[in-house]
Amino acid sequence: MRSPSIGRRARPAYPVLLLVAALAAGCDRPAAPADAWRDPSPMVTAAQPAEPASPRPTPPAASSAAPTPTGTDVRRVFPVRAGNVDYHPTHGGYPGTDLFADCGEPVVAVTDGVVLEVSRVDRFDKRGPLGPNNGGLSVSLLGDDGVRYYGSHLSAITAGVDAGVRVRAGQQLGKVGRTGNANNVCHLHFGLSPKCTGTNDWWIRRGVVWPAPYLNSWRKGGNRSPVAEVTAWQRKHGCPTSPGRSTAGG
């Protein structure tokens, strides 16, 4: 029997060689022109680096704390609820204002706040000591704006108005009177000051800035704030621990 390979012509190997050669030639072929294929993504070159992605802003954490009131966040009213009230822009000896009105007219809280001090007994004596008891019956209030509001020479103080009690703007604190060193004239002494110790500092409590410009605003229904002026005074003077030579009070 003839062998299958005998007499059969061997197939030439050149097709395989041609394929290998074509593949090798393709490796050396130059790249296609730039416009032959376009990458949809933007091109980044060494001269124009890619900008990093901006971080996504993180929302602020929620706070349960109530905002601190500022000078414009609180309501203020005129301290005497009466139609016939007169006062001078200045005061003898130190900044303050005397508001002249009939005895018995309502004295009200200028703004929301907490009562600091209450004097229900008239201990004034011309023989001394001068200063601490000059105000007679009086109330001081720490407003929510941080300012201390003080009124003295009252004829009566409203029941329930005691130290630590919270009051609202316009709430009655007492009545106009002539207790203390009021020279027998019905009026309300009114003073603005920083809190400082909050008690027993009558030389500060009686007033450190002139109230008249603020009273003028409140009387007309405005809401001018004494916060900036009182704060500036405290930054300059601090909280003096004694009255110095002054024995005047209010």
Per the DSSP assignment, residues forming a β-bridge with 27 are: none
**Residue 201 pLDDT exceeds 60:** yes
Q: How far apart are CA 214 and CA 238, in angstroms?
A: 22
Contacts of 98 (CB under 8 A, 6+ apart): 87, 88, 91, 187, 188, 189, 190
Q: How far apart are CA 90 and CA 114, in angstroms?
A: 27
pLDDT digits (tens, 9 = 90+) for 26-46: 444 444 444 433 444 343 333
pLDDT digits (tens, 9 = 90+) for 90-103: 888 899 999 999 99
Contacts of 79 (CB under 8 A, 6+ apart): 99, 107, 108, 110, 149, 151, 188, 190, 215, 218
- Is there a contact between 171 and 59 (Cβ–Cβ < 8 Å)? no
- Is there a contact between 167 and 73 (Cβ–Cβ < 8 Å)? no
Q: Which domains does the chain have, with CATH numbers?
A: 86-231 (2.70.70.10)
pLDDT digits (tens, 9 = 90+) for 146-170: 999 999 999 999 999 999 999 999 9
**Residue 58 pLDDT exceeds 60:** no
Average pLDDT over residues 173-184: 97
The CA angle 151-156-157, to the nearest 5 degrees, is: 65
What's residue 8's pLDDT? Answer: 45
Token pair belonging to 123? 């201990």
Cβ atoms within 10 Å of 168's Cβ, excluding its own:
12
The answer to pTM > 0.85 is no
Percent of the chain past pLDDT 70, that is, above it, reads 69
Q: How far apart are CA 32 and CA 27, in angstroms?
A: 13
68: Cα within 13 Å, side-chain hemisphere? 3
